[in-house]
Chains A and B, each alone.
Chain A
Amino acid sequence: MAGHSGESHVHPVSLYTRTLWWLMALLVLTVVAGYIPNIPNWLGVVIALTIAVWKATIVIMNFMHVRFSGKLAWLFAGAGFFWLVIMLAFAFADYVSRPWEPFHGWPE
């Protein structure tokens, strides 16, 4: 048994309500960030993704009990994020490198 993942935990309801309120607050923050005037697109994306990662992290930690789990659960949760990074990195690499092509369409 890795860590103490085989044990059952009893958590106070306040943990879940606190997590819920955090998520609601971050939802409001996401909406507010969407209405900030005159910021560059890339900054908007960075802000939105940062809030999204923040939300996902507290869901994984508290609702999914990863913070109370053994190393194996941490490894698998981390792998999930790593795979997401692979997907985003390769997909973005396509978009970023399209303008580098020497010509677009068939040459005349």
Chain B
Amino acid sequence: MATTTYTGGQKQNYLNWKTTLASWLFTLDHKRIAILYLVSISIFFLLGGLAAGVVRAELATPKGDLLTSDVYNKMFSAHGIIMIFLFLIPSIPAVFGNFLLPLMIGARDVAFPRLNLLSWYVFMAGAACILIAILRGGIDTGWTFYTPYSSSFAKGEVSLAIVGIFLTGFSSIFTGINFLVTIHKMRAPGMTWFRLPLFVWAMYATSLIQVLGTPVVAITLLLVAVERTFRIGIFDPSLGGDPILFQHLFWFYSHPAVYIMILPAMGVISEVISAFSKRRVFGYHFVAFSSLAIAIIGFLVWGHHMYTSGQSMYAGIVFSFLTWIVAIPSAIKTFNWMATIWKGRVHWDTPMLYALGFMGLFVIGGLTGLHLAALATNVHLTDTYFVVAHFHYVMVGGAIMGYLAALHFWWPKMTGRMYPEGWGKLAALLVFVGFNLTFFPQFLLGYMGMPRRYHSYPEEWAVLNLLSTAGSTVLGLGYLLPVIYLTWSLKYGTVVTERNPWGARGLEWELVDTPPDPHNFERTPIVTRPAYDYNHPEEPTGFVPKPRPVVVGGKDG
């Protein structure tokens, strides 16, 4: 390594010890790989958001006066595909999982640093395929790629997009394997399973889903590409295939994928609520095991996406029952977070505002999920805007609120700079208000029967749609603000030199420099206290042992 350009004056950290482009593109440091992901997915988030803006602009008026129906199909497909496969799935795991996991468990790096870098390159190759497919004519199947839309009737670049999703899927598998091995094998001495921060438990559960589920969707989409290319009958009835088989295979992964998006956010919320309430997470063990329960039960509920597809009603009854059960571990988490805040010394900083926003929106998203889990109401609500609203309350209100909470909470640790708190609070407020204004009217529209995926609609739904579009502009502003002030803070933000600006508990706050040293810890730390031990502020969670004195001229000398 001959490119060390770090100069004196400032303490060595992972950002300044090498500064060439090559040192970033070939880095094996989990923290730098996290930053690579952060930059990439932020760009994809803006692209996906732009597509959503165009969709909402079209729906501002009843007539399809801005886009043709074909272009509209391609626009909402681009929005869904970019947001889900290029932003939501990698967001918290690839950025904050990569950055924090080794710091939280007291490790030098992840178990397989080269695999970690490879996962980013594979992700970027997949993203390139998807973006090229969108630019070369687009995809009009929706993000679900249902057959026969994707096999017999698609007009766009479906095969290339499928190759892209196949690649991003393998990137996700690489990350999952890496985290599982890291958590099993690289915990510091004293870091027992029940001393792990709950973010690590959430990442463990997420990684299980990534490893066990992602291969299925990757192969399923590859089978669509095989059918399209070689005319081998798998899902196309005219070739002897079955389109409902696609839905089984697709949702076997894609429902648990919802938990890939939400579980890490739940882990973030546990960290933030504990840090800003200055209390140990209430019912730690229950919250930890509820992550595993969600990951496991989440694999048994996929048929609730298929009640009206032609699936047997007996299968529907079983899937409906199991779907109601998966609400239990989610409720356990929510009640325990509320109990953590209760009688806590609550600090209303920006990350906490996002965490509270998460709780409110996720509860609405979760409870409206029960309307969709019930067979009878599902028949009425299937393929309406009620589904769109529910999904966004969980994915945007949940996962993105969690992502923004994490971004603000760990920003000073990652960058050594603090963002302007007032702007942070304003953005959190705008996101919360804008979000509800955008998506709550969609529950009403869906209940009234407005179907999803149409670019025009009857006049009687105009007011609610206009409200929704107005809300989306507020929401867009709420998202744009952090992009501006976080970027601004990199150069002009208050310099943070103390390790623990929030007074939080955890190895990453108590033992790691701000920004972290390239090697994380001077030596392997020893953990002596449970996680979130706010009752004993004088006792650190762990310590870095002093080096043994070198004995010269001794027996072995």
Contact = CB atoms under 8 A, between A and B. Distances in A.
Given A83-B212, A93-B314, 16 more contacts: A1-B185, A6-B185, A80-B211, A80-B212, A87-B248, A87-B249, A90-B319, A91-B249, A93-B315, A94-B248, A94-B303, A97-B312, A97-B314, A97-B315, A98-B311, A100-B312
Contact of A87 (B216, B312, B318): B216
A87 B213 CA distance: 10
Nearest to B316: A94
Given A79-B212, A80-B212, A83-B212, A90 B314 contact: no
9 contacts: A1-B185, A6-B185, A72-B184, A80-B212, A90-B300, A90-B318, A91-B248, A91-B249, A98-B312
A86 B299 contact: yes
A7 interface: no
B245 interface: yes
A56 to B, nearest CB: 12
Given A72-B184, A93-B315, A94-B315, A86 B216 contact: no
Interface in A1-35: 1-2, 6
B300 A101 contact: no
Interface string B145-185: 00000000000000000000000000000000000100011
Given A1-B185, A91-B245, A83 B299 contact: yes
Contact of A93 (B211, B249, B318): B318
A98 B244 CA distance: 12
B313 interface: yes
Contacts of A76: 180, 211
A6 B213 CA distance: 26
A21 B333 CA distance: 52
B144 to A, nearest CB: 17
A25 to B, nearest CB: 24
User: Closest 5 CB pairs between A and B?
Assistant: A94-B315, A97-B314, A97-B312, A98-B312, A91-B248
B189 to A, nearest CB: 13
B299 to A, nearest CB: 6
Contacts of B252: 87, 91
Nearest to A84: B216
A96 to B, nearest CB: 8
Interface in A66-105: 72, 76, 79-80, 83, 86-87, 90-91, 93-98, 100-101
A100 B313 CA distance: 9
A105 B248 CA distance: 21
Contacts of A96: 312
Contacts of A6: 185
Interface in B305-338: 311-315, 318-319
A104 B319 CA distance: 20
Contact of A94 (B184, B211, B299, B312): B312
A101 B245 contact: no
A93 B248 CA distance: 11
B311 A94 contact: yes
B72 to A, nearest CB: 31
A80 to B, nearest CB: 6
Nearest to A72: B184
Nearest to B185: A1
A90 B216 contact: no
A98 B212 CA distance: 28
A2 B300 CA distance: 30
Nearest to B302: A90
| Among A1, A79, A95, residue most surrounded by chain B Cβ atoms (within 10 Å) | A95
Nearest to B244: A94
A2 B318 CA distance: 38
A79 B180 CA distance: 14
A83 B297 CA distance: 11
A83 B298 CA distance: 12
B193 to A, nearest CB: 13
Interface in B19-50: none
Contacts of B184: 2, 72
| Among B185, B211, B315, B319, residue most surrounded by chain A Cβ atoms (within 10 Å) | B315
B312 A101 contact: yes
Contact of B303 (A2, A72, A90, A95): A90
Nearest to B245: A91
B169 to A, nearest CB: 16
Contacts of A86: 299-300
A83 B217 CA distance: 14
Contacts of A94: 244, 248, 303, 311-312, 315
Contacts of B248: 87, 90-91, 94
A100 B314 contact: yes
Contacts of A83: 212-213, 299
Interface string B246-259: 00110010000000
Interface string B236-274: 000000001100110010000000000000000000000
A69 to B, nearest CB: 12
B35 to A, nearest CB: 30
A90 B212 contact: no
A103 B315 CA distance: 15
Nearest to A5: B185
Contacts of B313: 101
Contacts of B180: 76
Nearest to B319: A90
A88 to B, nearest CB: 10
A96 B244 CA distance: 14
Contacts of B319: 90
Interface in B39-78: none
Contacts of A2: 184
A93 B299 CA distance: 15
A97 B311 CA distance: 9
